[in-house]
């Protein structure tokens, strides 16, 4: 074994260990933001628990008018909630991850140490994704327990539907976490980024998607792509009423493009920061 091979063998585990420690440090910085974490947990696990609890109360008070909360209908509600409403806590967590180092001034101290700015940027994205996935997955599992446990004789979702719903909810929310992180990195602060993410998603795109004069341009909207990828039939019908029927590959390209473009811009801004 050559000397170079011995050196590489010794150095590689050390680099992996350092990167692991840096990732844990980034994750801790996020989890210590008590307000952000409380909103994240309430906006995922809490939202599912509260929603299904209210629906169950209605069912128990009038089982004739209100059907059981489980089964296919309950599963569709679960996917709609985790695939749309959770965009808000996902955006807040993402913008926090993308901007907290710059807002606190820590980023300059980190640059002085000689660490790669690209590595630091990617670590922020990874930590945001990891912190987000924990409450989201728990919320989905809690929802599935209700869907199957309180079906009340209603048809149950198939295994493929359960897997497809999980992939959709995780994928959509991660898109917003990463997009928000890129936007916050570009601005260097989370306030404007949060306002733009939520305002653009829930107000501007909701209006523009129904403006038929825009034609195919509406297919470039993130909400259009996500609705096209949704396993819930109502989303496809909503697009059809708006005169939209984008191809599946267009939806995937749109989603990937939003994440890549905003994070490339955010990374470029981070590269230009002076120590």
Strands (DSSP E) contained in the chain are none
Note the pLDDT of residue 242: 82
- Contact in structure between 83 and 230 (CB atoms under 8 Å): yes
pLDDT value of residue 89: 92
CB atoms near residue 219 (< 10 Å): 20
Pairwise CA distance, residues 275 & 127, whole Å:
23
Task: With CA atoms as reference, report the closest residue to 44 among 147, 170, 207.
Answer: 170
Q: HSE-up of 141 (CA within 13 Å, CB side)?
A: 6
Separation CA 20–CA 25 (nearest Å): 9
275 residues of the chain, pLDDT tens digit each:
443 342 234 334 444 566 677 788 778 888 888 999 999 999 999 999 999 999 889 888 887 777 888 889 899 999 999 988 888 999 999 998 888 766 665 655 555 555 677 888 888 899 999 999 999 999 999 999 999 988 877 889 999 999 999 999 999 999 999 999 999 988 888 888 889 888 888 888 888 888 888 888 888 999 899 988 988 888 888 888 888 888 889 999 999 999 999 999 988 887 776 55
| Burial group, residue 142, by CB count within 10 angstroms (0-12, 13-18, 19+) | middle
Place of tokens 């939806």: 251
Task: Give the pLDDT of residue 238.
Answer: 83
Report pLDDT for 100: 78
């Amino acid at each position: 074994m050559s000397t170079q091979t011995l050196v590489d063998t010794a150095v590689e585990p050390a680099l992996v260990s350092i990167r692991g420690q840096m990732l844990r440090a980034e994750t801790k910085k996020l989890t210590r933001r008590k307000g952000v974490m409380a909103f994240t947990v309430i906006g995922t696990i809490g939202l599912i628990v509260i929603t299904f609890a209210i629906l169950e109360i209605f069912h128990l008070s009038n089982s004739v008018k209100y059907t059981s909360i489980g089964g296919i209908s309950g599963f569709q509600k679960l996917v709609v909630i985790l695939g749309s409403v959770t965009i808000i806590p996902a955006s807040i967590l993402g913008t926090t991850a993308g901007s907290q180092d710059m807002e606190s001034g820590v980023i300059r101290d980190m640059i002085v140490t000689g660490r790669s700015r690209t590595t630091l940027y990617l670590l922020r994205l990874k930590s945001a994704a990891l912190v987000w996935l924990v409450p989201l997955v728990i919320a989905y599992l809690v929802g599935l327990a209700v869907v199957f446990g309180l079906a009340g004789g209603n048809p149950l979702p198939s295994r493929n539907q359960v897997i497809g719903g999980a992939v959709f909810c995780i994928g959509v929310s991660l898109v917003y976490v990463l997009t928000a992180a890129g936007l916050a990195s570009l601005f260097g602060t989370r306030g404007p980024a949060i306002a733009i993410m939520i305002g653009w998603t829930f107000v501007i795109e909701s209006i523009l998607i129904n403006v038929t004069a825009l034609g195919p341009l509406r297919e470039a909207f993130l909400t259009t792509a996500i609705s096209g990828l949704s396993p819930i039939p109502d989303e496809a019908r909503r697009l059809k009423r708006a005169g939209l029927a984008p191809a599946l590959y267009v939806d995937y390209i749109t989603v990937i493009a939003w994440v890549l473009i905003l994070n490339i811009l955010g990374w470029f801004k981070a590269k230009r920061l002076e120590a």
